[in-house]
Amino acid sequence: MHRASRPYQDEALAAWRAARGRGVVVLPTGAGKTHVACLAIDDRRRSTLVLAPTLDLVRQWYDVLRATFGVPVGVIGGGDYGVEALTVSTYDSAYLHMEHLGNKFGLLVFDECHHLPGPAYALAARAAVAPFRLGLTATPERADGRHSELDELCGPIVYRKDIVDLSGGYLAPYETVRLTVELGPEDRRAHDEARALYRDFLARSGIRMSSPSGWSDFIIRASRSEDGRRAMEAYRRQREIAFAAPAKLDYVGLLLDRHRDDRVLLFTQDNATAYVLARRFLIPIITHETRVRERSEILAGLGRGPEDDGYGAVVTSKVLNEGVDIPEANVAVVVSGSASVREHVQRLGRILRARAGKHALLYELVTANTAETFTSARRRDHSAYR
Amino acid sequence: MLTADLVGARRRGDELRLPPTDEARRARIAALAEALTARARGELGRPRDDVEEALRETAAAFELPGERRLAAAVGKLVRDGLRFEESPAEDAAELRRALFKRAAVARRAAPLDRAVLLETFARERGTTAGALEAALFADRPGAQRLLAVEVPAPVLLAAGFELAEAQAILLRAVKVVAEIEARDAAGYRRLFRTLKFLRLLPVIQRREKRPGYRVEMDGPLSLFQAAGRYGLQLALALPVIAACDSWTIEADVRWGADRRPLRFRLGGAAADGASEPPLPDELAAFVAAFERADTGWRLDRAPAVLDLPGAGLCVPDLAFVRGRDGARVFFELLGFWSREAVFRRIDLVRAGLPHKILFAASKSLRVGEALLDDAQTAALYVFSRVLAVRAVVEHLERLAAS
């Protein structure tokens, strides 16, 4: 371990040590959570299993651990099964193999540990005997309230810094701008008709979407009748209209022109809208089906910019929400998204990695008088947006 | 077809066992299949991305705690029955890279005029803007539209679920032994011909003291190469074995992350699902050419199984009958994965197989016709790319005269 730590990283390690090596460290994206984990591994010097939610993150961890500790690093997942004293795995693979892995490690590091309270992953955490556990996340809170299970699975939150605590110092200073657009008369009519049909079905079926099981109830009821299938189709239609309202797309064009010298990330809720934007504005797109080689080329191109045979903007749906490092990006445009606070904070996090002179800007486009208005209000319920 | 990671099998001592398939489990499988199939039907005409999202949503809504693997397995079987449009293969990634870089440079200089940029770019490439747009994401599977939902009825899918799990287990087999009994000769012939059609490597022997046959096959993990393809072929044989009136299989498998050696057993009475297999492609092409030619020989497509007690069995693909005197010569196309099948047949001939027979083997198996030079009733025809009618007829005439 040769890299100098930032003061809050040392504080986080001290807090985790004081909790006898069990607990969750909450730091914003770009604040160096990985380095805190390396400090913890160095501190305990026990065999360690790092769990991450995606293969991209597994690769990033592999590179960091190899470079930091200079020892062989095992990988489990994506067709690999190699166990070493330092091993990285996806949550999925660890779950499948935990009966063989559970007694092999003294320290577990749960990256993006808000995934951990799911039923399967929780089982994997319980099957492991590791006395030392470190959870890392920018956003521990879950909409289903199960973040309380983190205490048992990993330990309590022992240290927390939010975006507002580090902005302007260790993170780039930033600004968020919410822009409201109106639907045209035809889209408005189509949207309202579809929404009425969908809501009528909910009312007739006695489904309350505000209840925890509301969405599941709707899917189950919708699959059982022609009426239900029409309601599902109407639900989708009104959502699509709100996500990709023509006025919204016009606004994206204006923003791309305004920020022609910046590096812009466009986020959408669904792949369909992402492809609409890629076609209309002729910008590269990254989705789950983008091959690794093309994806690496696009991210490297965004880093270089148009002046050096690269790109000025990239559109993506959800795959860049977590973990991917793009220090050059300084403008984010949330064209559409879910109500998830975590997703919204993670998207903001993508443009906050500090660089000299960088000022980050996040735009959120919301279609007026649609479900998006409510969705937007819910996802902004975080200190970073106040 | 299921993959091994979707199978909820458990180890008990040295055995690998599937969960008991009781009515309650079947009902859950049928309920999951019904929900997923109904949702898929509602997505007809939509792109694969939307269909996938819809199925994920539905699985999450319907699965009960502890059912994750089961729901994923049912989802896989439902997805196997979805037919999507095909995407043309274009070098779309290269096109995107060049076009988007050009657009990035253009936008930096001035607000982007999309139409002008596309026209210019298309002209430089000798195409039109419309064609360019069509080719831009032509490689994208997520955009393929759902054309048809051809999933078995939920109750049938549930009934066949155990067999589907067993098929996935066979993908991890080193050796498989099937004991089978069929109602009539046609049942055996159908099975043996299917095994041949799947290009497996069966050693077939009549059972002692009991009717029926013992069929021993290598598992994919016993091969050095092409194990994935071979495993798939082996798994496809299981429904045909299960169509016999009574059957058992016993497989030596390597299971789990540590590839632990375990024994897997399954058996039952006749299930539905077997049909007469077609001829392998090269043989079908040969038959078509043969029937067009005037050779003086005619074809019998359903020849008898040739059994040499104590030595083994031979399952000819065809028999040829000479028009002028009724002389009969059997014909079998050999091997694919290894030369082993050729040597097994030579052993059978030397053991005294009492029928005239012509074997055909591809040159890629590196065997020579001289292997059977000294045999009176059998010959080996080694072909390079296709089975030639003239060469086959020459061999037939020589055997008929011997």
pLDDT in tens, A228-264: 888 998 998 898 888 888 889 999 999 999 999 999 9
B251 with B285, same domain: the answer is no
Select the highest-mean-pLDDT range: A6-20, A144-158, A172-186. A6-20
A130 with A90, same domain: the answer is yes
pLDDT digits (tens, 9 = 90+) for A24-70: 999 988 888 999 999 999 999 999 999 998 877 888 888 889 889 98
pLDDT over 80 (residue B396)? yes
A78 with A210, same domain: the answer is no
A62 with A147, same domain: the answer is yes
Give me the pLDDT at residue B119, please. 96
A49 with A62, same domain: the answer is yes
* Number of A–B residue contacts, CB under 8 Å: 103
A324 with A379, same domain: the answer is yes
A357 with A308, same domain: the answer is yes
Could you tell me if residue B82 is inside a domain? no
Domain final residue pick, B234, B249, B277:
B277
Domain coverage including residue B122 = 92-139
Contacts of residues B259-266 at CB distance under 8 Å and 24 or more positions apart, as own/partner, are B260/B11, B261/B14, B261/B174, B262/B11, B262/B14, B262/B15, B262/B16, B263/B14, B263/B15, B263/B16, B264/B9, B264/B15, B264/B16, B264/B17, B264/B166, B264/B169, B264/B173, B265/B15, B266/B18, B266/B162, B266/B166
pLDDT digits (tens, 9 = 90+) for B92-119: 888 999 999 999 999 999 889 999 999 9
| Tokens encoding B114 | 């999309």
Could you tell me if residue A107 is inside a domain? yes
* Average pLDDT value for chain B: 86
Q: Which amino acid is at B200?
A: L
A74 with A206, same domain: the answer is no
Q: Which residue has the higher pLDDT, B195 or A78?
A: B195
Residue of A nearest to B35 (CA): A223
Could you tell me if residue A168 is inside a domain? no
A74 with A194, same domain: the answer is no
A227 CA to chain B: closest CA distance, Å?
A: 11
Domain final residue pick, B277, B298, B317:
B277
| Tokens encoding B186 | 């046609």
pLDDT over 70 (residue B228)? no
B302 with B337, same domain: the answer is yes
pLDDT over 50 (residue B226)? no
Report the domain count for chain B: 3
pLDDT over 80 (residue A293)? no
B237 with B183, same domain: the answer is yes
Q: Taking the CA of residue A66 as centre, how many other CA atoms within 13 Å lie in the half-sphere pointing to its CB? A: 11
Could you tell me if residue A167 is inside a domain? no
A84 with A233, same domain: the answer is no
Question: Which of A145-154, A252-261, B66-75, B218-227 is least confident?
Answer: B218-227
B396 with B289, same domain: the answer is yes
Residue of A nearest to B53 (CA): A270
Mean pLDDT of B266-294: 78
Give me the pLDDT at residue A323, please. 61
B271 with B288, same domain: the answer is no
Could you tell me if residue A228 is inside a domain? yes
Q: How confident is the model at residue A284 (pLDDT cuts 50, 70, 90)?
A: very high
A139 with A191, same domain: the answer is no
Domain final residue pick, A224, A242, A260:
A242
pLDDT digits (tens, 9 = 90+) for B127-143: 999 988 888 888 888 87
- Chain B, residues 105-124, CB within 8 A of chain A, namely 105, 107-108, 111-112, 114, 117-118
Could you tell me if residue B21 is inside a domain? no
What CATH number should be reported for the domain holding residue B253? 3.30.70
Query: What is the 3-class SS of A168-232, one letter each residue?
Result: CCCECCEEEEEEEECCCHHHHHHHHHHHHHHHHHHHHHCCCCCCCCHHHHHHHHHCCCHHHHHHH
B218 with B330, same domain: the answer is no
pLDDT over 70 (residue A208)? yes
Could you tell me if residue A252 is inside a domain? yes
Cβ within 8 Å, pair A282-B100 = yes
A370 with A264, same domain: the answer is yes
What's the ipTM?
0.77
Residue of A nearest to B6 (CA): A96
Tokens 């032509």 correspond to B138
Could you tell me if residue A1 is inside a domain? no
**CB under 8 Å to A201, separation ≥6 — which residues?**
A207, A221, A222, A227, A228, A230, A231, A234
B57 in A contact zone (CB under 8 Å):
yes
B228 with B301, same domain: the answer is no
Q: Which residue has the higher pLDDT, A378 or A35?
A: A35
Q: How confident is the model at residue B88 (pLDDT cuts 50, 70, 90)?
A: low
Cβ within 8 Å, pair B61-A220 = yes
A289 CA to chain B: closest CA distance, Å?
A: 7
Cβ within 8 Å, pair A216-B60 = yes
d(CA A211, CA A205): 14
Q: Which residues of A touch B89 (CB under 8 A)?
A: none
B313 with B289, same domain: the answer is yes
Give me the pLDDT at residue A138, please. 87
A47 with A62, same domain: the answer is yes
B183 in A contact zone (CB under 8 Å):
no
Give me the pLDDT at residue A157, please. 95
Q: Which residue has the higher pLDDT, B39 or B352?
A: B39
Q: Which residues of B touch A291 (CB under 8 A)?
A: 93
Could you tell me if residue A316 is inside a domain? yes
Domain coverage including residue A62 = 7-161
